[in-house]
């Protein structure tokens, strides 16, 4: 029964068929991609960073966290849903490029529920320097062009790969990523936000900084935590239904979910940090 209460509202969606599904998860991914573009433009928009130096730094931030999340996912839900992907899919999942070669939404043949997203965000990071130059040249025209490309790509991906294709097909995500970059490069909203933050206390700024630092770790862990917790509630449903009142049960589930997601995200971030530093040290020595 907990599947009905907690899983259905999370995955239920509405929207334009073949173009965009409106759901909690779908909107969350869009927000994450827009913010990723905005943050990169804010940090690197005025910098002349060498292409591979930028890419190595971004990949070193993504992959260690992703690999730690893979281990956690295998330990937490691997027994629940035994992996059936085979050697080829195992390799693509470890590299996070399942979405680049064609993805299916079936956790029995995916090491992690967020495997498809890694290929998307890596692909967008690879395109960031080019989009940055286009925005510097013609910001509004670039944004319009990315919108047209994304709409056409989503419609094609839906016909070619089915409903899930619109999520992982990289050209279909160009507009969201570019929108975040454009907001920073061409609207002045960031400057106004920074001015507003000056009136916020240091504790509040510290919380905002902490949450932004932990954001990707939360993303790669949140679905694993949800699946595991839902499964545990199903398994021990007799204890769960002993809790009086549906509202109280929902609050209990949500509270446990938030605590579990935060704790594992924090642990994953701390475990991945030394790996990230090691990768950056090794690559720095080789590029000297």
**Residue in the structure block whose two tokens are 């433009």:** 41
The C-alpha atoms of residue 121 and residue 177 are separated, in whole angstroms, by 9
User: For 158-195, what is each residue's pLDDT tens digit?
Assistant: 888 777 778 888 999 999 999 999 998 877 776 666 66
The C-alpha atoms of residue 72 and residue 56 are separated, in whole angstroms, by 24
**Residue in the structure block whose two tokens are 């971004």:** 58
Average pLDDT over residues 73-87: 70
Average pLDDT over residues 127-138: 94
Cβ within 8 Å of residue 21, ≥6 positions away: 13, 14, 15, 163, 166
The C-alpha atoms of residue 191 and residue 183 are separated, in whole angstroms, by 11
Residue 227 near residue 7 (C-beta atoms within 8 A): no
The C-alpha atoms of residue 111 and residue 224 are separated, in whole angstroms, by 10
Q: What's residue 21's pLDDT? A: 74
* pTM score: 0.83
Q: What's residue 285's pLDDT? A: 74
The C-alpha atoms of residue 167 and residue 119 are separated, in whole angstroms, by 11
Answer whether residue 267 shows pLDDT above 60: yes
Average pLDDT over residues 238-262: 78
Q: What's residue 8's pLDDT? A: 37
Average pLDDT over residues 91-103: 72
CA dihedral 174, 175, 178, 183 (to 10 degrees): -160
Q: What's residue 193's pLDDT? A: 64
Q: What percentage of the chain has pLDDT greater than the value 90?
A: 38
Bridge partners (DSSP) listed for residue 14: 22
Residue 161 near residue 155 (C-beta atoms within 8 A): no
Return the ∠ at Cα 162 (arms to 161 and 167), rounded to 5°: 85
What is the secondary structure of 13-69 as a DSSP string? -EEETTTEEESHHHHHHHHHHHHHHHHHHHHHTT----HHHHHHHHHHHHHHHHHHH
Q: How does residue 65 score in pLDDT terms, banded at 50, 70 and 90?
A: very high
The C-alpha atoms of residue 71 and residue 21 are separated, in whole angstroms, by 30
Q: Where are the domains of the chain?
A: 2-286
Higher pLDDT, 276 or 205: 276
User: Across the chain, what does the average pLDDT equal?
Assistant: 81
C-beta neighbour count of 166 within 10 angstroms: 25
User: For 228-244, what is each residue's pLDDT tens digit?
Assistant: 888 888 777 666 656 66
C-beta neighbour count of 252 within 10 angstroms: 14
The C-alpha atoms of residue 51 and residue 7 are separated, in whole angstroms, by 41
């Amino acid at each position: 029964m907990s599947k009905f209460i907690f899983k259905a509202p999370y995955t239920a969606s509405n929207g334009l068929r073949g173009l965009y599904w409106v759901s909690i998860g779908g909107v969350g991914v869009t927000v994450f991609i827009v913010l990723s573009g905005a943050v990169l433009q804010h940090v690197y928009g005025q910098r002349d960073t060498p292409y591979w130096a930028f890419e190595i730094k971004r990949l070193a931030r993504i992959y260690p966290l992703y690999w730690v999340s893979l281990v956690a996912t295998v330990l937490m839900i691997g027994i629940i849903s035994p992996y059936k992907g085979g050697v080829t899919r195992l390799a693509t999942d470890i590299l996070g490029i399942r979405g680049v070669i064609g993805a299916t939404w079936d956790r029995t043949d995916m090491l992690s529920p967020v495997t498809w997203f890694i290929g998307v965000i890596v692909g967008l990071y690879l395109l960031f320097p080019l989009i940055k130059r286009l925005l510097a040249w013609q910001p509004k025209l670039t944004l319009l062009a990315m919108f047209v490309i994304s709409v056409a790509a989503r419609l094609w991906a839906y016909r070619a790969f089915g409903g899930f294709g619109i999520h992982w097909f990289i050209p279909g995500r160009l507009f969201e990523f570019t929108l975040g970059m454009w907001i920073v490069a061409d609207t002045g909203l960031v400057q106004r936000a920074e001015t507003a933050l000056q009136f916020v206390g240091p504790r509040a700024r510290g919380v905002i900084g902490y949450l932004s630092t932990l954001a990707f770790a939360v993303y790669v862990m949140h679905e694993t935590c949800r699946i595991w917790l839902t499964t545990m509630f199903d398994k021990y449903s007799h204890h769960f239904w002993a809790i009086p009142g549906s509202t109280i049960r929902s609050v209990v589930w949500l509270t446990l979910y938030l605590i579990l997601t935060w704790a594992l995200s924090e642990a994953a971030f701390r475990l991945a940090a030394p790996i990230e530093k090691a990768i950056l040290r090794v690559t720095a020595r080789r590029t000297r």
